[in-house]
């Protein structure tokens, strides 16, 4: 240990400042309380240490990082595909999943895909898509109106 680290600034478990004390004294204080001596910063004039459980502190930091990561991925969009011959129960199942996405704060793209001869029945596909959107129980906003594509319809919704 270098000369400048013989005296340290110590913070208690309850985040109260204990004061500037000798490193050895802080170490014995930590041992008697069954705690760890955690280095907060060594770049200060007097290094700052904290009494606490190192594993618990590491877990809290990882938890915070995961939470921040989830906030960063807020632009992620989920896709729910419905088909021309979709049954009512199948649509209800997809609506439950769509509700989970909306409650998580994600945008959802609803896509009606038409294949082959289904493309000749755009009017029925449009009705089916509107029926699906009307079956969604919670309130939602549309980021883009229902658009006609070459092979179906799509819209983007969010809460």
Boundary residue ending a domain (52, 71, 90) = 71
* Whether pLDDT at 73 is above 70: no
Residues 6+ away with beta carbon under 8 Å from 136: 95, 98, 99, 157
Reading the block at residue 107, the tokens are: 């945008």
pLDDT of 40: 86
CB under 8 Å, gap of 24 or more: what pairs does 27-32 form? none
Tokens 């590491």, located at residue: 58
The answer on 91 and 124 residing in a single domain is yes
Tokens 């938890």, located at residue: 63
pLDDT band (50, 70, 90) for residue 68:
confident
Q: How many domains does the chain have?
A: 2
pLDDT of 75: 67
DSSP 106-142: -EEEEEEE--GGGGG-HHHHHHHHHHHHHT--S--EE
- What is the average pLDDT value for the chain, to the nearest integer? 86
Q: What percent of the chain has pLDDT over 90?
A: 15
Question: Residue 21 maps to which CATH number?
Answer: 3.10.20.80
* Whether pLDDT at 101 is above 80: yes
- Separation of CA 93 from chain center: 24
Give dist(CA 95, CA 112) in Å, integer: 14
Give dist(CA 124, CA 107) in Å, integer: 26
pLDDT band (50, 70, 90) for residue 16:
confident
The answer on 91 and 65 residing in a single domain is no
For residue 9, give its domain range.
3-71
Mean pLDDT to the nearest integer, 6-17? 87
pLDDT band (50, 70, 90) for residue 110:
very high
* Whether pLDDT at 61 is above 60: yes
Which stretch of DSSP H or E encloses residue 12? Answer: none
What pairs with residue 149 in β-bridges? 152
* Whether pLDDT at 96 is above 90: yes
Question: Residue 92 maps to which CATH number?
Answer: 3.30.110.10
Tokens 């969009």, located at residue: 77
The answer on 101 and 122 residing in a single domain is yes
Give dist(CA 61, CA 51) in Å, integer: 16
């Amino acid at each position: 240990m270098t000369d400048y680290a013989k005296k340290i600034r110590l913070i208690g478990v309850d985040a109260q400042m204990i004061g500037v004390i000798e490193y050895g004294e802080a170490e014995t204080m930590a041992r008697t309380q069954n705690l760890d001596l955690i280095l907060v910063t060594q770049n200060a004039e007097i290094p700052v240490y904290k009494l606490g459980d190192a594993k618990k502190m590491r877990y809290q930091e990882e938890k915070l990082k995961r939470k921040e990561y989830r906030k960063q991925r807020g632009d992620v969009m989920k896709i729910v595909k419905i088909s021309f011959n979709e049954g009512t129960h199948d649509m209800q199942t997809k609506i439950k999943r769509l509700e989970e996405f909306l409650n998580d704060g994600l945008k959802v793209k609803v896509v009606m895909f038409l294949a082959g001869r289904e493309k000749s029945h755009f009017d029925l596909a449009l009705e089916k898509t509107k029926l699906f959107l009307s079956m969604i129980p919670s309130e939602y906003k549309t980021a883009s109106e229902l658009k006609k594509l070459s092979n179906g319809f799509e819209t983007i919704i969010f809460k």
